[in-house]
Amino acid sequence: MNQITNEPLDRQADKTGQDKPPLLYDACIIGGGVIGCSIAQALSRYDMRIVLLEKNTDVSEGTTKANSAIIHAGYDAKPGSEKARTNVRGNRMFEAWCRELHVPFKRNTSLVLAFSEDGIKGLAELKKRGEANGVEGLHLLDRSQLQQREPHVSPAAHAALLAESGGICCPYQLTIALASQAVQNGLDLKLSCRAGRIRRHQGVFEIETSKGVVRSKVLINAAGVYADEINNQLSTYTFKITPRRGEYWLLDKSASDVFKATLFQLPTAMGKGILVSPTVDGTLILGPTAEDVTDKEDVRTTQEKLVEILDTASMSWAEIPRHQFITAFSGLRAHADSNDFILGFSPDVPGLINAAGIESPGLTSAPAIGQELAEMAAGFVQAGKKNSYQPAYQPAVPFREMSHQQRHQAILKNPQVGRIVCRCEQVSEAEIRDAISRPVGAATLDGIKRRTRAGMGRCQGGFCTPKVISLLSDELQVSPLALTKAGGRSQILTGRIGQIDLDHKENTHHG
């Protein structure tokens, strides 16, 4: 991290090349994960100038893209903690929030399994803790009640704690929808824009970024595993974020209807333990592990941890069909040394608001955190609500979810609906073109994947990648050679080996 100086930042560093000081925003959010975007969406209801800085080429490229995607009931967090409070509140807000944003959500319930007498005592303690946190719909089940609900659960499970309010969602679709609605309502979204040196000068934050200086009255720190580096530049109330890696296996859709509920085991000091869960997209995940690492970008998967997942998950599901694994992935929890979320105004820097240490249940807590921190920021600049607010963008029904009749009608209107690009997930050319051209559109292969599921199925993009590159190139009017998987140096094509017809006219720009 750069040194802090007492001199005002050089305004000429603003690459806009303007002599006048850069625009003064009311609020600047650092971080385009589910937390930054939920704050942006809530803030965009106010009459304020807001900017969001995200260092990656897309929103949802950090922890938000790789987690269990569970909307936790709230029995796990310590009573009285920010985690407990925002989890229970967020869970209650989630369904309506997803409906408003047109993203999937399912209240599939969750079960914590016990495999011994001690485990049964553990379930009773969890139930008590949940009730202290205000969680409703918690029930202890005996073995036969459990088997009745989930016939494929391992017979080794003696009992379970049922949480009726447990749910599942799609974190990246949610975050893209949040960003998109905020942009439609005035958010200035700056992608590929890293916040570096920051100082507060005459009541204004001056943030040096890779795209020039950004000035703002309020600074909201939602930088995930990097949140300590933002806060500690400005405040004497420092904290440390440790990246805690969790690895997963993903199974394809043929395993989708084995379990209805999310199956947990009893939580440990490191986290909620290994789960087996359906996803809202019809796949199934196993994981995560919990391991502290030093590198904030270290999202590799390891043989050791993937074997650990199999060993532990097979206690819940005795016959895991290993031939149905389609990929493995990992994500980093932003674990704060205080072991709780750090939310709200900094005690010594007026206008600095932290949303830090947002490990699990951060996704569940996101609607509550977004709303509460937006209120704080609006209060600081004394902004009122806007008179009008644009509803969220609603993409057309995906081809895979259409009836035969709907498909017929849609193809008559637009033949691109009938051109299937991703066979595994049945994604049409029309969906891919829409994903590129809609508000906060995709500019990379991963961006297409997260908006449409093209490349997320059994073949993991083996068949559709060339066609997706061709469509991206056509819509964005850039050479296929310039396109990337996920920005930065992740170019997909390195050069020409001959005149291969990429089903695409030669472009004006050569990368």
Ligand X SMILES: Cc1cc2nc3c(=O)[nH]c(=O)nc-3n(C[C@H](O)[C@H](O)[C@H](O)COP(=O)(O)OP(=O)(O)OC[C@H]3O[C@@H](n4cnc5c(N)ncnc54)[C@H](O)[C@@H]3O)c2cc1C
63 binds ligand X per the rule CB under 6 A: yes
- Return the number of the residue (63 or 473) whose C-beta is nearest ligand X: 63
Question: According to CB under 6 A, which one of 133, 165, 265, 360 is a site residue for ligand X?
Answer: 360
DSSP 331-381: EEEEEETTSS-EEEE-SSSTTEEEEE---TTHHHHHHHHHHHHHHHHHHHT
- Return the number of the residue (64 or 165) whose C-beta is nearest ligand X: 64
Smallest separation, CB 51 to ligand X (Å): 11
Smallest separation, CB 284 to ligand X (Å): 14
Residue 171: name the closest of 11, 329, 354 by CA: 329
Question: According to CB under 6 A, which one of 167, 212, 288, 457 is a site residue for ligand X?
Answer: 288
Binding-site size, ligand X (CB under 6 A): 38
Question: According to CB under 6 A, which one of 130, 224, 455, 457 is a site residue for ligand X?
Answer: 224
Catalytic residue among 72, 102, 408, 510: 72
Smallest separation, CB 68 to ligand X (Å): 3
Question: According to CB under 6 A, which one of 44, 57, 67, 428 is a site residue for ligand X?
Answer: 67
CA distance 233 to 196: 10
223 binds ligand X per the rule CB under 6 A: yes
- Return the number of the residue (53 or 160) whose C-beta is nearest ligand X: 53
Question: According to CB under 6 A, which one of 32, 74, 351, 457 is a site residue for ligand X?
Answer: 32
3-state secondary structure of 134: coil
Smallest separation, CB 428 to ligand X (Å): 29
61 binds ligand X per the rule CB under 6 A: yes
Question: Would you say 383 and 376 are in contact if contact means Cβ atoms under 8 Å apart?
Answer: no
Question: According to CB under 6 A, which one of 30, 40, 50, 440 is a site residue for ligand X?
Answer: 30
- Return the number of the residue (288 or 480) whose C-beta is nearest ligand X: 288
Question: Would you say 107 and 165 are in contact if contact means Cβ atoms under 8 Å apart?
Answer: yes
226 binds ligand X per the rule CB under 6 A: yes
362 binds ligand X per the rule CB under 6 A: yes
Smallest separation, CB 56 to ligand X (Å): 5
70 binds ligand X per the rule CB under 6 A: yes
Q: In what order do the strands lie in the sheet with 105-106?
A: 70-71, 167-169, 105-106
Active site residue 72: yes
Question: Would you say 286 and 328 are in contact if contact means Cβ atoms under 8 Å apart?
Answer: no
Residue 443 burial (C-beta neighbours within 10 Å; 0-12, 13-18, 19+): buried
309 binds ligand X per the rule CB under 6 A: no
386 binds ligand X per the rule CB under 6 A: no
451 binds ligand X per the rule CB under 6 A: no
Other CB atoms within a 10 A radius of the CB of residue 205 amount to: 23
- Return the number of the residue (64 or 133) whose C-beta is nearest ligand X: 64
- Return the number of the residue (32 or 480) whose C-beta is nearest ligand X: 32
Quote the distance between the C-alpha of residue 115 and its chain's center. 32
| First-last CA distance in the chain | 31
- Return the number of the residue (36 or 278) whose C-beta is nearest ligand X: 36
CA atoms within 13 Å, Cβ hemisphere of 261: 27
Question: Would you say 56 and 62 are in contact if contact means Cβ atoms under 8 Å apart?
Answer: yes
3-state secondary structure of 271: strand
Quote the distance between the C-alpha of residue 270 and its chain's center. 21
Question: According to CB under 6 A, which one of 27, 29, 44, 56 is a site residue for ligand X?
Answer: 56
Indicate left, alpha or beta for 453 from its phi (over 0: left) and psi (-120 to 50: alpha).
Answer: left
The residues in 96-135 that bind ligand X, with binding defined as CB under 6 A, are none
447 binds ligand X per the rule CB under 6 A: no
Question: Would you say 306 and 300 are in contact if contact means Cβ atoms under 8 Å apart?
Answer: no
The residues in 472-491 that bind ligand X, with binding defined as CB under 6 A, are none
435 binds ligand X per the rule CB under 6 A: no
Indicate left, alpha or beta for 203 from its phi (over 0: left) and psi (-120 to 50: alpha).
Answer: left
**CB-closest chain residue to ligand X:** 362
Contact residues: ligand X, CB under 6 A: 30-36, 53-56, 61-64, 67-70, 72, 194-195, 222-224, 226, 246, 288, 331-333, 358-364
Positions marked catalytic: 72
